[in-house]
């Protein structure tokens, strides 16, 4: 039997991956077979789950992160990140056999858009038994947040566990991959972006009317609340009782890097829900956090502090 760390408590429990992001900035992204000169390069902390945990922690929530890294320099980058952001490292497993994950990002210097390849490394090796070691954390947190960058059967196991307790569950279904229909009934908040929503819906989403139809589709599947993020068209919220769009933010700063903008949104949504914000207020807050994150380079490093939002 495995020990249960009953004394660890948090407002938000995030399950997901950490990877070291290798980001290349260029005036244009290369197309197949092309080589272009870059104008900048940086290595920094990334991975959707870890980015979301940092986003919520910087907004003042007490966060735990369940993930797995390797025993290497990139793993040390993760540990340093959690130390700096008040996240307990006890819930981060260290693999002796697998390296910390890495990602290669190409970022367009003019508009901040990107293309990403992620190699999850040790993150993919986290097991259901390891999740169960922290079952108390998963069942007793106020909000449980996860994505699809680790094994899906482990994600589903953790979602079920969270729902067996009192947690509000959020699934950020990224990257878009096929999931069993069973998933949907364990999801309180489903937060795809436009392209991910199109993948699960099976149709194009070009405006609010189409986002409303996609929202209805997700609710029928079993999700309690659907939040589709639509870039400059804002977000579209739907549940059984109501549906409405929330406009995007008029950004003061220039967009430098959109990496992690969706993570900032999901992390902020978790933080807002944990603080019992009204849903409209919570969505405006998450849009703000996500918008501000695009005015800085990097992923986890670009997550704003609560003081910057206010």
The nearer residue to ligand RIB, 116 or 176, going by C-beta atoms, is 116
Q: Which residue in 11, 21, 188, 263 is the catalytic one? A: 263
Q: How many residues does the chain have?
A: 310
Q: Is 296:302 a contact under the CB 8 Å cutoff?
A: yes
- d(Cα 77, Cα 176) in Å, to the nearest integer? 27
Q: What angle do CA 181, 182, 186 make, to 5 degrees?
A: 120
The nearer residue to ligand RIB, 23 or 238, going by C-beta atoms, is 23
Identified binder of ligand RIB from the candidate list 11, 13, 21, 154, rule CB under 6 A: 21
Identified binder of ligand RIB from the candidate list 13, 15, 47, 273, rule CB under 6 A: 47
Instruction: Tally Cβ neighbours within 10 Å of residue 175.
Output: 13
Q: Has 80 been annotated as catalytic?
A: no
Query: Does 299 sit near ligand RIB (CB under 6 A)?
Result: yes
Q: Is 275:267 a contact under the CB 8 Å cutoff?
A: no
Size of the site for ligand RIB (CB under 6 A): 15
Long-range contacts of 279-288, Cβ-Cβ distance < 8 Å, separation of 24 or more: 279/225, 279/237, 280/244, 280/246, 283/227, 283/235, 283/237, 283/246, 284/246, 285/309, 286/235, 287/234, 287/235, 287/246, 287/248, 287/249, 288/249
Binding region for ligand RIB (CB under 6 A) out of 87-95, 214-222, 235-243, 256-264: 256-264
- d(Cα 48, Cα 287) in Å, to the nearest integer? 17
- d(Cα 204, Cα 236) in Å, to the nearest integer? 15
Which two structure tokens, joined as six digits, stand for 128?
Answer: 């259901």
The nearer residue to ligand RIB, 135 or 259, going by C-beta atoms, is 259
Query: Does 145 sit near ligand RIB (CB under 6 A)?
Result: no
Between β-strands 12-15 and 143-146, what pairing exists: parallel, antiparallel or unpaired?
parallel
- Cα dist. 302→156, 184, 263 in Å? 29, 31, 11
Identified binder of ligand RIB from the candidate list 24, 46, 67, 228, rule CB under 6 A: 46
Query: Does 68 sit near ligand RIB (CB under 6 A)?
Result: no
Binding region for ligand RIB (CB under 6 A) out of 30-38, 219-227, 239-247, 254-262: 254-262
Identified binder of ligand RIB from the candidate list 48, 58, 68, 142, rule CB under 6 A: 48
Q: Phi then psi for 270, rounded to 5 degrees?
A: -60, -45
User: Min. distance of Cβ 174 from ligand RIB in angstroms?
Assistant: 7
Burial 2-12 (b: 16+ CB within 10 A, else e): eeebeebebbb
Query: Does 266 sit near ligand RIB (CB under 6 A)?
Result: no
Place of tokens 């190409």: 106
Identified binder of ligand RIB from the candidate list 10, 24, 25, 51, rule CB under 6 A: 51
Query: Does 263 sit near ligand RIB (CB under 6 A)?
Result: yes
The nearer residue to ligand RIB, 135 or 147, going by C-beta atoms, is 147
Query: Does 296 sit near ligand RIB (CB under 6 A)?
Result: no
Query: Does 171 sit near ligand RIB (CB under 6 A)?
Result: no
User: Min. distance of Cβ 254 from ligand RIB in angstroms?
Assistant: 20
The nearer residue to ligand RIB, 95 or 123, going by C-beta atoms, is 123
Binding site for ligand RIB (CB under 6 A): 19, 21, 46-48, 51, 103, 116, 118, 149, 259-260, 262-263, 299
Catalytic residue numbers? 263
């Amino acid at each position: 039997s495995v020990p249960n760390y009953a004394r660890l408590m948090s407002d938000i429990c995030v399950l997901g991956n950490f990877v070291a992001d290798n980001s290349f900035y260029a005036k244009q992204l290369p197309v197949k077979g092309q080589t272009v000169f870059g104008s900048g390069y940086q290595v920094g902390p990334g991975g959707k789950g870890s980015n979301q945990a940092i986003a919520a922690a910087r907004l003042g929530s007490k966060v735990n992160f369940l993930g797995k890294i390797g025993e290497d320099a990139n793993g040390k980058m993760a540990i340093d990140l959690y130390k700096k952001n008040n996240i307990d490292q006890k819930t981060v497993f260290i693999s002796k056999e697998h390296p910390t994950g890495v990602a290669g990002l190409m970022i367009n210097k003019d508009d901040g858009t990107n293309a990403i390849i992620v190699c999850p490394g040790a993150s993919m090796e986290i097991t259901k038994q390891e999740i169960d070691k922290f079952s108390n954390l998963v069942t007793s947190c106020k909000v449980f947040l996860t994505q699809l960058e680790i094994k899906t059967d482990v994600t589903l196991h953790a979602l079920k566990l969270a729902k067996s307790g009192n947690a509000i569950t959020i699934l950020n279904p990224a990257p878009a991959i096929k999931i069993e229909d069973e998933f949907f009934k364990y999801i309180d908040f489903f937060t795809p972006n436009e392209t991910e929503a199109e993948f699960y819906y099976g149709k194009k989403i070009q405006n609010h009317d189409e986002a409303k139809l996609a929202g209805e589709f997700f609710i029928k599947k079993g999700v309690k609340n659907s939040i589709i993020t639509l870039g400059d068209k804002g977000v579209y919220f739907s549940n059984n009782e109501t549906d409405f769009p929330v406009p995007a933010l008029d950004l003061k700063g220039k967009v430098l890097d959109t990496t992690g903008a969706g993570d900032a949104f999901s992390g902020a949504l978790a933080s807002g829900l944990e603080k019992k914000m009204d849903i409209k207020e919570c969505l405006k807050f998450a849009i703000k956090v996500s918008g501000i994150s695009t005015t800085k380079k990097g992923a986890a490093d670009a997550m704003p502090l609560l003081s910057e939002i206010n």
